[in-house]
Amino acid sequence: MIYTIGNIESYERYFLESPIPRKAQGGSVWSTQAAAQAHCNEHYRVYGVIAEWNVDTAPSKEEGADWHDLLRAADLVRLKHRATYLSPTEMFNLDHACRSISQAYGYCLYHVGSSLRVADYRDVDIRCILSDEDFLKMFPQPKPVSDQTRLHLLNTALSEWLRARTGLPIDFQFQPATEANRYNGARNAIGIPARYTYEIHEVAKKFGKEPDEETKNIEQASDAAKAIVADADKIREENIEANRRTHAIDR
């Protein structure tokens, strides 16, 4: 097998619509997955090509190219892609460190950026996405985000704090929801407080559903899991109030 890259939206549509997806003759291919991955951004992904490097390809005529041209059309295949290029230990440490920030600000954090896509990432991007209203309350200066000294100070301080506790090159940033939602790459929730784990399962059972594997995995919790967490907060408050009434009657 050799490798090519393609626009995720276009290629995934092609896989759905074509019974036998194929890479056209003359397309760019690489001998290794890592070499192809080096040419990807968040909109592109590596795909497999059922062909032989030394038989079915020839060096590209483009000056400085590190790829070959495909000499014949060949079948395309999807590859299994990793959710993150952090190790399980790194993810465990990062998740636990992020929980303190989630508890302090009341918002879930998100793992985004190149460490979700490539092994040679520059940094590990963590974002705390606030509602636009809460962001303006925390950083009220009537200036562009790029000019806000308070914002930069907190971002830098929390980046350093997370680096000290994880050993990872963390880039932490607060972002308003409107700005964050302009980003269309992968975004994995991280740092959901441990106290929610039991309640997530209890709320899921209440609605007659078992949490799926993604919901069970706190390191890769989905937006659906966070919606369940919101319901869990309501149930927790109801339980607290019920306990108060019970203790009042006992007394």
Predicted local confidence at residue 222, as pLDDT: 44
Predicted local confidence at residue 221, as pLDDT: 43
Instruction: Please give the helix or strand (H or E) that residue 173 lies within, else none.
Output: strand 170-176
DSSP 8-state assignment for residue 42: T
Residue 95 near residue 162, CB atoms below 8 Å: no
Predicted local confidence at residue 244, as pLDDT: 60
Select from 84, 80, 95, 94 the least CA-distant residue to 117: 84
Q: Whole-structure pTM over 0.75, yes or no?
A: no
Ramachandran angles phi, psi of 171, nearest 5°: -120, 100
Rounded Cα–Cα distance for residues 248 and 241 (Å):
11
What order do you get walking across the sheet with 109-112 strand by strand?
Answer: 170-176, 124-130, 109-112, 187-190
DSSP 8-state assignment for residue 120: T
Residue 153 near residue 141, CB atoms below 8 Å: no
Predicted local confidence at residue 34, as pLDDT: 82
* Per-residue pLDDT in tens (0 to 9) along the chain, 251 residues: 999 999 988 999 999 998 889 999 999 999 998 889 889 887 888 999 999 999 999 999 998 899 999 999 999 998 877 778 888 899 999 999 999 898 888 777 999 988 887 777 889 999 999 888 888 888 887 666 566 788 899 999 999 999 999 999 999 999 998 888 888 777 888 988 655 555 555 555 555 555 555 444 443 444 544 555 555 556 556 655 665 655 454 44
Displacement of CA 234 from its chain's centroid (Å): 27
Residue 92 near residue 65, CB atoms below 8 Å: no
